[in-house]
Amino acid sequence: MEERTGEAFEFGEQLTVLGGKLQAGMNAPSFTLDSFDPTEGAMRQIQLSDSAGKVRLLNIINSLDTPVCHVETQRWEKIRTDLPSDVVVYTVSMDLPFAQARWQTSENVSHVMLSSHRDEKFGTDYGVLIKEWRLLQRAVLVIDQDNKIVHAEYVPDQMAEPNYDNTVQVVKQAAKK
């Protein structure tokens, strides 16, 4: 397993990220993650293939219970309304699905929350698993209709937000295909 040091940090703490970085042109690894639907009161398993043929924006965060992740996820919710209708936004964290649903309901966020709490496979496949915290590194990935990565931004400073404008531009270009 590839270990990347010096690519993620918070304040003075250097973190180790497990898994290789994904880059534009690579195939997106498949995944099956949990999502608790608060309106149905039911647990569902969501796979990448469920949204085949659409552009997917993965907002990958440490935890919804942290200030930066909270702000970032709220911002993607607002941006989502201006994206083409065939774009799917997922927020992915290792938070429990019930905690994600509780946050989603209290914050009036309607895009899908995905939990990778069961195991570390998503984290290592997408190159975002922080070894010291067993949480995911902040990152934003865009996957096109053909399951190709068209944008990958791994945010080194866990107290910083991603480049929203750059990502939105890539999403809109990918949706025109």
Per residue in 88-110, pLDDT (tens digit) is 999 999 999 999 999 999 999 99
Catalytic residues: 69
CATH number at residue 61: 3.40.30.10
Exposure string of 139-175, with b = 16+ CB inside 10 Å and e = fewer, is: bbbbbbbebebbbbbbbeebeeebeeeebbebbeebb
| CA separation for the pair 129, 116 (Å, rounded) | 10
Instruction: Please answer whether residues 162 and 58 qualify as being in contact, where contact means their C-beta atoms are separated by less than 8 angstroms.
Output: no
Per residue in 55-72, pLDDT (tens digit) is 999 999 999 999 999 999
Task: Tally the domains of the chain.
Answer: 1
Output the pTM of the full model: 0.96
Q: Which domain holds residue 122?
A: 3-175
